[in-house]
Structure 1
Amino acid sequence: MSDIIDPPPVPSEAEAPSAEARQWALFAHLSALAGILIPFGNILGPLIIWQIKKAEMPFVDDQGKEALNFQITVAIAMIVSMILMLVLIGVVLMFLVGIAALAFTIIAAIKANEGQYYRYPFTLRLVK
């Protein structure tokens, strides 16, 4: 179980990511905002960018997986919140999860644009 919750070790930063890699990593994080308009767009956006760029850019591979894992965790939390709406706490929980997801996504995008390897808190790391 600890493999799922514990973050993987951060890769060596011996070589800084290129400007293009930083930009694609930024897009991988921000593409999750597609979920505002498209159902499950928060998962599809990072998944598509990660699949396209993972072979050619190690930084995008790492950050794309991180964004995807976080968005899967957010989707699970939202489903649990919907179920908990039956006992009224789900409304508050859904609001809090949404605000936290937006804030952490923006922080991750800024860090990725700076070339830093970012790890989302409270993330189930299901995609390795």
Structure 2
Amino acid sequence: MQSINQKTISSVAHLGAFSKYFIPFGNFLIPIIIWVLHKEKPFSSGHAKRALNFQLSLFLYVSILITITLIGFLILRINLGQIDQFYISSGGDFVMNNHSPFFTSPFIIFIAIMLFLGLAIFLLEILCVINATFRAREGKIYKYPLCINFIKLAPEELKDIE
């Protein structure tokens, strides 16, 4: 049976993911700090390692998504051109005066796919972090989906103790 203190600390390790919106790299720093301060407690350190592994995995996925997006812009040869190529017509419509025949359809489809993938990663993070927080609060282990184990867990940290 885990103490209330360990459950709370483990929950904070997972909730630290949301600190990135207030503290630069807080989503990495909070689990690292908890892991270092609670190395002797397998439950807390295991949750901190899992939270850190998930944040590192998401960072990798977002980096790949951004790289693919930039390469896609180059492949589609997005030329935003001069400011006079963008204007609002007399009917109130926004017009892009780009004479490339391959501009509109592939560009819009590509942007829609990239936005969908970015939103999916964002929602995955929110749902998984909340679920992991509740599981830690219950004294259970949560295995994040699509998580790469950059930091290996010790055998005693892998046990699901209630």
**Corresponding residue of 2:27:** 42
1:27 corresponds to which of 3, 9, 12: 12
**Corresponding residue of 2:141:** 117
Q: Specify which structure has the higher proportion of helix.
A: 1
- Structure 1 gap ranges (5+): 1-15
User: How many residues end up aligned between the 2 structures?
Assistant: 112
Of stretches 24-33 and 46-55 in structure 1, the one that deviates more from structure 2 is 46-55
**How big is the alpha-carbon RMSD for the aligned residues of Structure 1 and Structure 2?**
1.3
Q: Distance in 2 between matches of 1:50 and 1:85?
A: 34
1:108 corresponds to which of 132, 144, 151: 132
Q: Please give the per-residue CA displacement for 1:14-59, whole angstroms capped at 9, x wherever unaligned.
A: xx2111110100000001111122332222221111111122x210
Q: Distance in 2 between matches of 1:46 and 1:85?
A: 30
Is the 2:34–2:45 contact (alpha carbons within 8 Å) kept by the matching residues of 1? no
- CA 105–53 in structure 1, closer or farther in 2 if over 3 Å, else same: same
The one-letter amino acid of 1:64's match is A
**Corresponding residue of 2:36:** 51
Q: TM-score when scaled to structure 2? A: 0.65
Q: TM-score when scaled to structure 1? A: 0.81
**Corresponding residue of 1:63:** 47
**% same residue:** 32
Kindly name which structure, 1 or 2, has the bigger radius of gyration based on alpha carbons.
2
Q: Distance in 1 between matches of 2:126 and 2:12?
A: 14
CA deviation after TM superposition for structure 1 residue 106, in Å: 0.4
